[in-house]
Amino acid sequence: MPKKVKPEDRRIQRTRQSLQTALSELIVEKGYEKVTVQDVIDRANVGRSTFYAHFESLDQLLLSGFEPLRMQFEDFLSGTTFDIESPWALSLAMFQQVQKQKGGYITLTHIQKFLHGYLLDHLKQGLPKRNKNIPPELLAHYVASTFIALMTWWIDNNYPIPAEKMNEIYRQLVEPGTMAIMMGA
């Protein structure tokens, strides 16, 4: 299990940074499935025991790279009331955050489950409880999935479209179908 560490020590920062970028590079080269702990610590020039002092597993290390995105999400949720208009502001913020960190979000596919669950939890609270014959959980699942779908495509295709336009497209695709349902509640 990972030790508790004070983040101010330079060695800690360096170690974490090295491991993250090493993993990032290796994912591009071989794909996440084929990356081993040994690969990562060799590339990062970090001792084996050091790795396990910081992260429980490769998955943890991978997940740690998505902290900024998660924090942005948290910030948004704590600062806004969740109304019908605001979801698009959130999605825009996330498109922008990802674009800003170009290259940092290579493997959305592998944190899909995590991200999906995250979105889901908060979406459930904001969506109408009743509507014409579509279960609200299904609606939440749908909205989260569509967002991740577009984000995934966007990242995999190397950001060929600016964040703002992506968000507009997202809205164009998802809004018509969902609005009709949410209004008839």
Please give the radius of gyration of the chain, using alpha carbons only, rounded to the nearest integer.
19
Of 34, 47, 177, 183, the one binding a copy of itself (CB under 8 A) is: 177
**Gap between the Cα atoms of 56 and 27, Å rounded:** 18
Where does this chain touch DNA (CB under 7 A) — which range of 9-17, 20-28, 90-98, 101-109? 9-17
CB of 93 to DNA, least distance (A): 32
Between 111 and 174, CB nearer to DNA: 111
**Gap between the Cα atoms of 144 and 170, Å rounded:** 11
Where does this chain touch a copy of itself (CB under 8 A) — which range of 9-17, 44-52, 72-80, 170-178? 170-178
Does residue 51 contact residue 40 with C-beta atoms inside 8 Å?
Answer: yes
Does residue 30 contact residue 42 with C-beta atoms inside 8 Å?
Answer: no
Of 27, 44, 61, 174, the one binding a copy of itself (CB under 8 A) is: 174
Read off the amino acid at residue 37: V
Read off the amino acid at residue 78: S
Residue 6: strand, helix, or coil: coil
**Gap between the Cα atoms of 50 and 55, Å rounded:** 9
Of 23, 27, 58, 155, the one binding DNA (CB under 7 A) is: 58
CB of 169 to DNA, least distance (A): 38
CB of 113 to DNA, least distance (A): 18
Scan residues 108-127 and list those touching a copy of itself (CB under 8 A): 109, 113
**Residue 101 lies near DNA (rule: CB under 7 A):** no
**Gap between the Cα atoms of 80 and 83, Å rounded:** 9
Of 28, 30, 31, 38, the one binding DNA (CB under 7 A) is: 38
Q: How many CB atoms lie within 10 A of CB 41?
A: 19
Take residue 149 and report the two structure tokens written for it. 């779908």
Indicate which of DNA, a copy of itself, none lies near residue 78 (CB less than 5 to 8 Å, by partner kind).
Answer: none
Query: Under the rule (CB under 7 A), what is the footprint of DNA?
Result: 1, 3, 5-12, 14-15, 36-38, 45-50, 52-54, 57-58
